[in-house]
Amino acid sequence: MATLSHTLPSASALPILQPKTFTSNSIKCCENQRETVKLSNNGLATFPEKNTLPSSAAATVRPPRPRRIILVRHGQSEGNLDETAYTRIADPKIALTEKGMAEAEECGLEIREMIEQDKIENWKVYFYVSPYRRTLETLKSLARGFERSRIAGMRVEPRLREQDFGNFQDREKMRHEKAIRMLYGRFFYRFPNGESAADVYDRITGFRETLRSDIDIGRFQPPGDRNPGMNLVIVSHGLTLRVFLMRWYKWTVEQFEQLNNLGNGKIIVMEKGYGGRYSLLMHHSEEELRDFGLSDDMLMDQDWQKFARPGELNYDCPMMNSFFTHFADEGCKT
């Protein structure tokens, strides 16, 4: 089942990557684990100076990591259908179209079908969602595929909002600004009275740290219910989700700028690999990820992510060889 769809930027064409075969035989990782957070028996982080519990009770086992982090772009909105909507309706108030609601409901059924293939009886979902109307409506339609007992909770997260393009938008002026952005650079160009993708990166960095903390302490799982079948679903916007992936996997600006946008109501899945880290290659095929815009270096790193453990570093990072071109000369020296 294909779950990854994209739309190409209108202002310029992205370079086509030629498929190459890659292997992980030469990829090595360190064995050092980062120090884990000690947890109390109710799943909350412990302050040592206030801990009155016996050491055996305080040092409980860390909650299982969620099986997946599923990124969802909102369904078709009024602004996707008619760009003039942004000239009269505030961006946060743009609603879904009927088609967008149907896309979101279909997306929910697709996510449920994917989760049920795990054959885990007590699986659940937890939602993070942008506060914009179109994302909230997407979540409402998407969640129709889940009964109450399957939904562990939800959080409306302002840091997941759309890139700010500058309040009410003049259609012709915005087209001009987007053309300039392609010349200046999609990541660093800041819209007048708005944001650049770099600004979005800064707030997504804060959200990522919140998310990692939630995962580490099992905040979305009640005490005593450490469910390995937990799935996190993030409902947001195209650029915001691409920036989230960039921040999570430490992609470069150049790598970000070659990514394509997800289609409305489409998903990209970060699934837990064999060592506990999240990899896009656990769910998506290499072909799907190439269509999304991943390069050979990025695919090699995703292959490493499939087997690595949390806290490990990829000391044979493929970007090292592509960035530092003088390495090829070392073998010629005598």
Which candidate, 126, 128, 125, places its Cα nearest to that of 136? 128
Torsion angles phi and psi, residue 232, rounded to 5:
-95, 135
* Residue list for the binding site for substrate: 73-80, 134, 173
* Residue list for the binding site: 73-80, 134, 173
Active-site residue list: 74, 162
Torsion angles phi and psi, residue 175, rounded to 5:
-60, -40
Pair 113, 138: CB distance under 8 Å: no
